[in-house]
Chain A
Amino acid sequence: MSQTFQNPPVAPETLPTVADIDWQRLAGRYIGQVIIERLLLFALAGIGFTILVASGRLPPDRVALASAILVIVFVAMLLHAVLAARRKAYAVRQHDVLFRSGLFFRTVTAVPLNRIQHVELHRGPLERGFKLATLQVFTAGGSGSDLSVPGLNEARGAQLREYILGQIGHES
């Protein structure tokens, strides 16, 4: 076993860098899902706000200002969510899975396939409505899922899961 193992030195300069990766965008419907999610959130906030106004705890002369702030915050949140969703992308290479996210606080995570413990395909009620799925990848390194790719077409999600599972079996 130890005779066949080889470990030739690798010059870091010759390696493909993360910047050259062929990033795959998420399904266009994912933006719709994000918008609906935010709208639901806003509806909840709106209900709370209405109760606050109806119960008379908010001075009537402040209602206009408060609702203006609420709307501005919501629009900013919505804009941020949409732009962030557009930036999210994944890449599957022969030996690892990558995911990038974040509009201002950007993150690129890379999980080697031979470290993956298990893979989950998660589909919430909203995701099912949009025929989308979230691929969750677990390693022994973190407490939750270490890499989670939302907004995948159901078929693509299943495809990716099969590919990763196949590679895990192959590598180990």
Chain B
Amino acid sequence: MFFVADLAKTIARNFVQIIVPTIAFLASTGGFSKDRLSLLGAAAIGVILVYAVAMFLNTRFQLGSSGIVLRTGVFSRKQLNLEYRRIQALNLSQNPIYRWFGVYDLTLDSAGSSDTELILPAVREDVVAELRALLDTVESPISEFTPPSSDQVLSQLNALDMVRIGISSQRSLVFLAVLGSAFGALETQGWTERALDSVMPTQLWDATDASLFDLIVFALVGVTIVLALIILLSIASSFWRFNRFRLEDRQTEYVSTAGLFTVRTQTLPLRKAQVISVVRGLVHRWLDRSELAVHQAAGRDFSAKGEFVIPLVGDAQLGRIVGGVLDVNATGFLRRQGNGAFLPISWRYWLSRWRIYGWLPALSAGLSIALNDGVSRWLWLIVPVWLVLSAAIFWQRHRRWGYFVFDQGIALRQGFLGERIDVFLWRKMQFVALKETPFLARHGLCHLHVATAAGQRRLPFVPRELAVRLADRALVATESSKQSWI
């Protein structure tokens, strides 16, 4: 059973990689005759089959008492040893072919570099159950094994939620890129020049009103179509990834199951969560929902998408899930109404950003306009417009910055239109640093850096005295904690 599923998968995986060089080869040697095509196809399938069988015969794994051993490879062989206590998470994925055969791909994340994870291809359900039982005995020898029947379903998402995820996805930002290239295409056809010509005061009476009107209608229709396509694509991809999303509370771990064709089961051992990010974009705010990403120690970049994602959470569930994962009680600040609980950072953040991104460009623009004689006087307008605009942008960013200190940790909020809240536990911290620049030192401010095994975050422009106290609080919590941080 393994064999066929593994084989089918290998073929599917290699199909795309093989088709391109084949076409290139055929094109270069001349002729796409039917004979040659079928001959090459047969040869390719033969090679894949032989390789897949060899891979299958050479891949062996063993569940030992303290860890897993995996031997694999046809030509260059390798052996991977992974101790159970190093395992961060156990994830399953099952595509339609696998579902037919009742097998899973089992991925084990380990703490350490991102590429040391171990994949057991096409394993049966009883192997998964056995591994789970082994992990339970290693991780928590005291707590008894909780049978799946007592699982609490924390969250279940339906088709409407998929649409919600789709429209609030950050992928809509791709829209801007597409729009940019669309304008590029317009440019090459001279449309923008015509548009510019028609709005220039000197030639306004030369251009007919009709052409301008046509252009605007054309642009509007184009933008609408692209926007609709992007949203549709985004909705489709949320169905693809999160269809029938289900989050279960198994006391020591959260388990999520989702997927349209390939069903993924992700496990989050609760003790191992490092940082939780609550993301609320503009649309999220409008829908009164949030996206949650739980980061684990896996050596991956913190700014990347979280490894354990809960795509859509209502306000009521938010506190419960975050509280459950981090084992903290007070999570009221996460509610949208609780936003007032966040303390602001110094307004000098706004001033320094405005100086760097507002004044400096405005000054250089003003200088270059002054030094060039031939330019229109209207260009001077850029300077005040940019000064006002940048002031507004950074005031808004400053408004979004905030921090909330609670018993066990700190929450940092930032954003522009939307917002993102990162919740840290002091005892999960790796190290802490205070940084100050001459500007900050002059005003008694500094940055506080907090580093966890899942990445670093900075709380900028806070009073020095407070930052020192927070750093000390973090150090005391870390140094007195007898709980495992990983």
Q: Which of B188-196, B229-237, B305-313, B474-482 contacts A (4 or more CB under 8 A)?
A: B474-482
Total contacting residues, chain A, CB less than 8 A: 33
Would A17 and B472 count as touching, CB distance under 8 A?
yes
Give B452-480 as 1s and 0s: 1 = Cβ < 8 Å from A's Cβ atoms. Answer: 11001000000000001101110110111
Question: Does A142 have its Cβ within 8 Å of any Cβ on chain B?
Answer: yes
The verdict on A139 contacting chain B, using a C-beta distance below 8 Å, is yes
Binding-face segment, A56-64, A109-117, A124-132, A150-158: A109-117
Cβ B437 vs Cβ A110 within 8 A: no
Contacts of A96 in B (CB 8 A): 475, 479
Q: When the two chains form their complex, are residues B431 and A146 in contact, meaning their CB atoms are under 8 A apart?
A: yes
By a CB distance below 8 angstroms, the chain B residues around A140 are 111, 297, 430, 453, 486
Determine how close the nearest CB of chain A comes to the CB of B433; give it in whole angstroms: 4
Shortest C-beta distance, A80 to chain B (Å), equals: 13
Count residues of chain B with CB under 8 A from any CB of chain A: 34
Contacts of B297 in A (CB 8 A): 140
Q: Given the complex of chains A and B, what is the CA–CA distance between A107 and B469 in angstroms?
A: 16
CB atoms of B475 and A105 under 8 A apart: no
What's the Cα separation between A91 and B335 when bound, in Å? 41
Knowing A5-B483, A115-B485 are in contact, say whether A142-B451 is a contact too (CB < 8 A): yes
In this assembly, does B207 line the interface, its C-beta being within 8 Å of a C-beta of chain A? Answer: no
Task: Choose among B430, B471, B485 the residue that contacts A146 (Cβ–Cβ < 8 A).
Answer: B430
B interface footprint on A34-64 (CB within 8 Å = 1, 0 otherwise): 0000000000000000000000000000000
Pairwise interchain contact A110-B456, C-beta atoms closer than 8 A: no
**Closest chain B CB from A22 CB (angstroms):** 16
Tally A-B pairs: CB < 8 A: 94
* B430 x A142 contact (CB < 8 A): yes
A65 lies within 8 A of chain B by Cβ: no
Contact of B469 among A7, A12, A105, A106 (CB under 8 A): A12
B322 at the interface (CB under 8 A from A): no
Q: Is the CB of A111 within 8 A of B431?
A: yes
Question: Which residue from B142, B429, B434, B472 sits with its C-beta under 8 Å from A16?
Answer: B472
The docked-state distance in angstroms from the alpha carbon of A102 to that of B440 is 14
Complex CA–CA separation, A121 to B429 (angstroms)? 24
Cβ contacts under 8 Å, B475 to chain A: 95-96, 110, 112
With an 8 A cutoff between CB atoms, is B432 at the interface?
Answer: yes
A108 at the interface (CB under 8 A from B): yes
- A12–B473 alpha-carbon span in the complex (Å): 6
Indicate if the CB atoms of B435 and A112 lie closer than 8 Å.
no
B31 near A: Cβ within 8 Å? no
Q: Is the interface of B mostly helix, strand, loop or mixed?
A: mixed
Option from B111, B142, B433 in Cβ contact (under 8 Å) with A107: B433
Q: When the two chains form their complex, are residues B431 and A15 in contact, meaning their CB atoms are under 8 A apart?
A: no
Question: Among A5, A18, A115, which residue has its beta carbon within 8 angstroms of that of B430?
Answer: A115
Q: Is the CB of B431 within 8 A of A17?
A: no
Q: Using Cβ atoms and an 8 Å threshold, which residues of chain B touch A110? A: 431-433, 471, 475
A89 partner residues in chain B, CB cutoff 8 A:
none
A139 contacts which of B430, B435, B468, B472 (Cβ < 8 Å)?
A: B430
Contacting pair A105 B479 (CB below 8 A)? no
Which residue in chain B gives the minimum CB-CB distance to A103?
B438
Q: A135 at interface (Cβ–Cβ under 8 A)?
A: no
Contacts of A115 in B (CB 8 A): 429-431, 478, 485
Judged by a CB distance under 8 angstroms, whether A133 is at the interface is no
Known contacts A15-B473, A112-B478, A139-B431; decide if A105 and B436 are in contact (CB<8 Å): yes
B50 touches A (CB below 8 Å): no
Query: Is B441 among interface residues, defined by CB-CB distance under 8 A?
Result: yes
- Is the Cβ of A108 less than 8 Å from the Cβ of B478? no
* One of A9, A18, A19, A141 near B431 (C-beta < 8 A): A141
Asked if B431 and A147 make an inter-chain contact with CB atoms under 8 angstroms apart, the answer reads: yes
Cβ-defined contact, B437 with A18, below 8 A: no
Closest-CB distance, A129 to chain B (whole angstroms) = 31
Q: List B contacts of A109 (CB < 8 A).
A: 431-434
Q: Which A residues lie within 8 Å of B471 (CB)?
A: 18, 110
Alpha-carbon distance between A147 and B433 when the two chains are bound, in angstroms = 10
Contacts of B456 in A (CB 8 A): 141-142
Bound CA span A142–B433, Å? 12
What is the minimal beta-carbon distance from B447 to any residue of chain A, in angstroms? 9
| A1-40 to B contact mask, C-beta < 8 Å, 1/0 | 1000101011011011111000000000000000000000
Contact assessment for A105 and B437 in the assembled complex, using a CB-CB cutoff below 8 Å: yes
Nearest-CB residue, chain A, relative to B452: A141
Closest to A142 in B: B451
Question: With A15-B469, A112-B478 given, can you name 11 additional A-B contacts, CB distance below 8 Å?
Answer: A17-B468, A17-B472, A106-B435, A106-B441, A109-B431, A109-B433, A114-B481, A139-B430, A140-B453, A141-B453, A142-B456
A-B contact pairs, 19 of them (CB 8 A): A7-B480, A12-B473, A15-B469, A95-B475, A106-B441, A107-B434, A107-B435, A109-B433, A110-B475, A112-B429, A114-B481, A115-B431, A140-B486, A141-B430, A141-B431, A141-B452, A141-B456, A142-B431, A146-B430
